[in-house]
Structure 1
Amino acid sequence: MKAITSLAAYRARSMKGNVHPKIILGGPLVLLLILTGSLWQTGCLAPGPPAEKITVGSILSRISGLLYVAQDQGYFKAQGLDVDIKTYASSPESLKDLKAGHIDLACCGIFNLVKEALAGGSNLRALTVLCNGQIMDLIASRDRGIREPADLRGKAIGLMKDSAAEYFLGVFLTLHHLTLQEVRIVAVKPFALGEALATGEVDAVVAWEPYIGEIVKKMGNAVVTWPSQEGQDIFWVMAGRREYLKSHFATMEKLLLALEQASKFIKEHPAEAKKIMSRRATFLPADWDKYPVRYDLFLDQGLLLHMEDEAAWLIHNRPTDRKELPNFMDYLDPEPLLKVNPRAVRLALPGSVSPY
């Protein structure tokens, strides 16, 4: 059959029944696809800009849930971001790499930023709180004669040094009429807490999930547990170097937008969010309700007051030349969050919000 070279010829042939009306649609469509492919290969029709890569350091825990949900649901990708979540055993380790420039951002307890501020010269800033809640327990061995908090006197307590576990243990002891000087603190890595308690290396430990569940499951009725935070929240924040946050302001906006979407998803689909988190961080189903965590982005006066409490405790209990509290507003960067969600920033801002 000869090729159809004009619309008139097509009409004439189709009226004779030799050409199906739908066949003609294939020609222009195929031509368009071929032309588009040629333009793409020659660079005349260029692809969109590549996703901006960000490396975020965090421990493997449910408190990093916003990161896991945002990644799983494609919220980072939708903002043009390629977020690599690098796992660390502890906050001090991730902050070490952050200060060295090996990663772009780090998730950590606010206690770690307070310690940096007291040490002086820190250029780290908290971008937002990622979650807050009650996640720590003090777990003691009944075999060592511990039945109530008063029995901790003279005992060895294992915990992750340079972490919020130190502060919350100190508060717990004070509320139960004990002092840090009346117990012996032993530095133990988080993943080794259960083994240290089981073997008798220590008499008690301060742990968080998922380690709490692992210890209780292994030792059962041989241990007694108490909430070590005594009603005070831990604040889990995302932090970055001052110069990085300043030079990547638009990127931080996109990141926070993605995390805001993740926060909304967790509230609207808690069962699905639990499944997403459980694929990344091991935790017992019962821990979800026993250790409630609120996944909200914010910076507020309550956070500042908590930072001042931790700093006052550190000044009193740790060797330091610092006798006055720093201005912790200097260690927050509220501008990106203020742009994304003004209601999430509840600070008494003096004039300009810029910490620079």
Structure 2
Amino acid sequence: MCTWNYPLIQIQRQLGPAAAVFYDRDIYTETFNIAAQQAFIEQNAETVERLLRALVKAETFVAEHPDAAQTLMAKLAQLELSLVKDVWANFNYEVALDQTLLITLEDETRWAMNNRLVDAAAMPDFRQHIHLDSLARVKPSAVAIQR
């Protein structure tokens, strides 16, 4: 069974020594992407950059104040603090844009094409749909994607 980390820890606690849990950062990851229409980005560049600056500020807060971040997470998600502390190391709180996004988009598109879920005959060039500039201005080191 594959489940989100918080229910997993709850299940593990209930099963005690009968539970066998295997972690592998390369098998399953939770990645959150920010998506917007190009026109919105162009018309609201300052808003987009403010959002990205807030995310980078949160990233820094998590790195510098893990206990406070865990307490905040527990409160906002309405979870036991001990549960949040148990799974905290399984997450990577990082604002980044790298080749992984392109690889994932291409892998999923290839799967959809092979299963005839889309009419596309050729792989789209996803690079033309990924906006790098705002994040590059806010946190240049976060952008590691080929144009």
**Following TM superposition, where does structure 1 have runs of at least 4 consecutive aligned residues deviating by more than 6 angstroms?**
none
Tell me, which stretches of 5 or more residues in structure 2 are unaligned?
none
Structure 1 residues 196-254: Cα deviation after superposition (integer angstroms, max 9, x where no partner): xxxxxxxxxx3213232333344556665444875454422122233222211111111
Structure 1 residues 265-292: Cα deviation after superposition (integer angstroms, max 9, x where no partner): 1111111111111111226131123xx2
Identify the match of residue 87 of structure 2 among 287, 291, 300. 287
- What CA distance in whole angstroms lies between the structure 2 residues aligned with 1:300 and 1:267? 20
Higher radius of gyration, 1 or 2? 1
Sort the Cα spacing of 1:344 and 1:215 in 2 relative to 1 into closer, same or farther, 3 A.
same
Structure 1 residues 19-78: Cα deviation after superposition (integer angstroms, max 9, x where no partner): xxxxxxxxxxxxxxxxxxxxxxxxxxxxxxxxxxxxxxxxxxxxxxxxxxxxxxxxxxxx
Matches within 5 A, 1:26-105: none
How far has the Cα of 1:300 moved from its partner? 1.4
- What CA distance in whole angstroms lies between the structure 2 residues aligned with 1:330 and 1:278? 38
Matches within 5 A, 1:258-277: 258-277=54-73
Identify the match of residue 142 of structure 2 among 326, 336, 344. 344
Aligned residues: 143
Matches within 5 A, 1:148-227: 206-218=2-14, 220=16, 224-227=20-23
Sort the Cα spacing of 1:323 and 1:229 in 2 relative to 1 into closer, same or farther, 3 A.
farther
Sort the Cα spacing of 1:316 and 1:223 in 2 relative to 1 into closer, same or farther, 3 A.
farther
TM-score (norm. length: structure 1): 0.36
Q: Does 1:247 align with 2:34?
A: no
Q: Judging by fraction of residues, say which structure has more strand.
A: 1
Sort the Cα spacing of 1:245 and 1:235 in 2 relative to 1 into closer, same or farther, 3 A.
same
Amino acid at match of 1:252: V
Do the aligned residues in 2 keep the contact of 1:235 with 1:303 (CA within 8 Å)?
no
Structure 1 residues 280-323: Cα deviation after superposition (integer angstroms, max 9, x where no partner): 1226131123xx22222121123212322232233334633234
Identity among equivalent pairs (%): 29
Amino acid at match of 1:347: I
TM-score (norm. length: structure 2): 0.78
Partner SS, residue 3 of structure 2: strand
Tell me, which stretches of 5 or more residues in structure 1 are unaligned?
1-138, 140-205, 350-356
Instruction: Please report the RMSD computed on the Cα atoms of aligned residues, expressed in angstroms.
Output: 2.6
